Chain A
């Protein structure tokens, strides 16, 4: 069994004295693990940094084996190392993908969005808004998408202000009535019409966070969300004016 693909490196663990077990997120093979022989050597270790874009060739005797990778660097994405918040963003993306994606299941749409997201971290200061949309895409891709197209109560497409924590559907200010304080905020940033206002992004992340916990993590036997996401939100709060 063998294949070749490109992917973003999600995690690295030392394996024995000289090798490493890596997880990459590829377009055609999804999240896939494998051993890199000599992966902790001076030559290869600098390449194996989370977020790096790699050209990987996987080979194993049987498909169910972990197999081994040979890797070549395509893009390092090391520019984020000096940016505290962008590095927190990179860690959150990699940790959430490891946390959420089933192994060896292709998610080409999410893959493309992840590529764009990782590239934005070092090139565009408005990346937190893109990150919020990426979390929405992650929920959608894994079957827990939110329906923000119309009000679940009145059917209107105007004045949408809340999200129902149970159904994940939008609710208008009028439809919310006296239940408003029990609903989650629906900032313009979550609807894709906001300007990326930090307060709106943080409100949006509180809402996606709710569904990451109650739907995604719940489906994974209530595993706690990766701490990297909480650290990113802390960073964004500190940077918000």
Chain B
């Protein structure tokens, strides 16, 4: 026997979430129904608030609840540095590390000829405008160490290098990494970026 229509609808919606299929969505919905006072109702309230208020920051592309996100609105973060990331998840990762005190710029992807994603789709002209308008002295490219990520990084560097200092995150041996398990590309990058001790 199928669940009532409303519950089936909820299962179908949950099954669209990343990492969930129809079976796991069914289990999750059953759990929510069992704990409806403790989990379901607060979850529904929180989702409604987010649905009403969530929006992308007009300046950097971060996700927040106002037109200008907290980071862009904070004068303390206006230290002349912008960190460029691919996705909002990367911005959140940088913030978790708590070591960067400047502002961000979220591209929303990388240049890709196959998917027809060019500089305009990524808001690169907007980044160039920001650099000039905000008096930025350094742009840090925190893009993934993939072919697409680095192609995008080189493109941005070329656009900005006459306007400000452009740096990128180091590439090499991760903390806790063992050389024996690293691929030859990482070892090459690590050797090129070696430093004096």
Q: Which of B150, B151, B157, B184 contacts A76, CB < 8 Å?
A: B184
CA distance A90 to B151 in the complex (A): 10
Is B118 interfacial (CB-CB < 8 Å)? Answer: yes
Determine whether the beta carbon of B189 is less than 8 Å from that of A78: yes
On whether A227 and B113 interact (CB within 8 A), knowing A78-B183, A81-B147, the answer reads yes
A-contact bits for B128-160, CB 8 A (1 contact / 0 none): 000000000000000001110011001101100
Residue of B nearest to A46 (CB): B183
Determine whether the beta carbon of A75 is less than 8 Å from that of B184: yes
A76, A88, A226: residue with the most chain B Cβ atoms closer than 10 Å: A76
CA distance A78 to B118 in the complex (A): 23
How far is the CB of A62 from the nearest CB of chain B, in Å? 26
Residue of B nearest to A94 (CB): B147
Residue of A nearest to B118 (CB): A227
CB neighbours of A226 from chain B (8 A):
113
CA distance A84 to B192 in the complex (A): 15
CA distance A238 to B159 in the complex (A): 13
CB neighbours of B171 from chain A (8 A):
81-82
CA distance A91 to B147 in the complex (A): 8
On whether A91 and B183 interact (CB within 8 A), knowing A17-B18, A82-B192, A227-B118, the answer reads no
A73, A77, A79, A226: residue with the most chain B Cβ atoms closer than 10 Å: A79
Residue of A nearest to B192 (CB): A82
A47, A49, A81, A227: residue with the most chain B Cβ atoms closer than 10 Å: A81
Determine whether the beta carbon of A95 is less than 8 Å from that of B185: no
On whether A87 and B147 interact (CB within 8 A), knowing A82-B189, A227-B113, A228-B113, the answer reads yes
CB neighbours of A87 from chain B (8 A):
147, 150-151, 154
Determine whether the beta carbon of B147 is less than 8 Å from that of A50: yes
Determine whether the beta carbon of B18 is less than 8 Å from that of A77: no
Is A182 interfacial (CB-CB < 8 Å)? Answer: no
B-contact bits for A83-120, CB 8 A (1 contact / 0 none): 01001101100010010000000000000000000000
Determine whether the beta carbon of A78 is less than 8 Å from that of B186: yes
Q: Which residues of chain B in 1-51 are interfacial with respect to chain A, using CB atoms and an 8 Å cutoff?
A: 18-19
**Supplied contacts A46-B183, A79-B185, A87-B147, 12 more A-B pairs, CB within 8 Å:** A13-B114, A49-B147, A76-B185, A78-B185, A81-B147, A82-B171, A84-B158, A87-B150, A91-B113, A91-B151, A95-B114, A227-B118
CB neighbours of A98 from chain B (8 A):
114
CA distance A78 to B149 in the complex (A): 12
CB neighbours of A81 from chain B (8 A):
145, 147, 150, 171, 185, 189
Interface of B (DSSP majority class): helix
CA distance A90 to B146 in the complex (A): 13
Is B188 interfacial (CB-CB < 8 Å)? Answer: yes
Q: Which residues of chain A in 12-69 are interfacial with respect to chain B, using CB atoms and an 8 Å cutoff?
A: 13, 17, 46-47, 49-51
Q: Which of B115, B146, B184 contacts A49, CB < 8 Å?
A: B146
How far is the CB of B195 from the nearest CB of chain A, in Å? 15
Q: Which of A73, A82, A228 contacts B183, CB < 8 Å?
A: A73
CB neighbours of A77 from chain B (8 A):
185
How far is the CB of A231 from the nearest CB of chain B, in Å? 8
How far is the CB of B175 from the nearest CB of chain A, in Å? 16
Residue pairs across A and B with Cβ atoms less than 8 A apart, 26 shown, are: A11-B114, A49-B146, A49-B185, A75-B184, A76-B183, A76-B184, A76-B185, A78-B186, A79-B185, A79-B189, A81-B150, A81-B171, A82-B150, A82-B192, A84-B154, A87-B147, A87-B150, A87-B151, A88-B154, A91-B151, A95-B113, A95-B114, A98-B114, A226-B113, A227-B118, A231-B155
A-contact bits for B102-136, CB 8 A (1 contact / 0 none): 00000000000111001000000000000000000
CA distance A46 to B158 in the complex (A): 26
Closest 3 A-B residue pairs measured CB to CB?
A: A78-B185, A76-B185, A84-B154
